Amino acid sequence: MQYVIVQTALNLGLELMRGVDILKAWVRGCIGPNLTEAERAKPWFSLEPLSVVPEMEFADQQGTLILYYMILFCYSVMSPFTSIVMWCAFGLFSLGYRHHLFYLYGKANDSGGQLFDDFVSLSIACIIISEIVMFGVLGLKGGVVSAPLLIPLIVGTFMFKAYINQQHYKITKDLPSTIAVEEDIRNIGKIDWDFVKGVYRQPAFEHRHKEPENMSSVREERQDAEESQAFMTPDNSEAEIVVDAQ
């Protein structure tokens, strides 16, 4: 429990205060290139200014959540107080990261729910591991009656995992597009989707035409070169005189 409390308070405190980002931005401002506004707004090596929109590292946060689930599943039965501590930890994580996900982080790393399948599979695997650990603990302590009572629970968990893999994931992967279109047509007018219009777009589509920062100077040089060549070219009348003379 001490590990969970310290890890939650330290990580979430630094996340909300953005202590690491502020320190990196300060170091970047001290030793990084700062001649122009464009240079000050660009990352330098691994140091980024605060104007750069950070990306949410979903994999790192998911790894922490899986560890917390393991602690909850393994120790909540032996110590009911663990459930209260983990409930507080999950609540704080939900409040902090949800706020930052809406108002701070960008959407470049948003997988659209692809990590949810792996998360469910890993969660069920954590449940199975915790049940096997409980079976071993009760067996070592001489629980002749209580240890065998966990066998139906373990078998039921394996059956639930097989059911999930055969039904839900198979349907989501093999659903024909025609059925999906028919379902979308039936839902027209029933659900208001205005809140998602224009929200999830690829970064490449947000700016249709981009030019380098020095494009204005290139255009000026090209225009100057064209003007200089124009003075070297004779008029049509002069060219005709030269041709007639020949």
pLDDT tens-place values along the chain, 246 residues long: 778 888 888 888 888 888 888 888 888 888 888 777 777 778 888 788 877 777 777 777 777 888 888 888 778 777 778 888 888 888 888 888 888 888 888 777 776 666 777 778 888 888 888 888 888 888 888 767 888 888 898 999 998 888 877 765 566 666 677 777 888 888 888 877 777 777 766 666 666 666 666 666 667 777 766 665 555 555 554 444 444 555
Burial of 91 (0-12, 13-18, 19+ CB in 10 A): exposed
Angle in degrees, 0-180, between the axes of helices 146-166 and 114-140, rounded to the nearest 10: 160
DSSP character at residue 44: B
| pLDDT in the model for residue 45 | 82
Token pair of 228 as six digits? 């200089």
Can you tell me which residue has the tokens 């008029």? 235
Strands, E, within the chain: which ranges?
none
Q: Whole-model pTM?
A: 0.48
Spell out the residues 6+ positions from residue 150 whose beta carbon is closer than 8 angstroms to its own: 131, 134, 135, 138
Break the chain down into helix, strand, coil percent, rounded to 5: 70, 0, 30
Using DSSP, state whether 47 is helix, strand or coil: strand
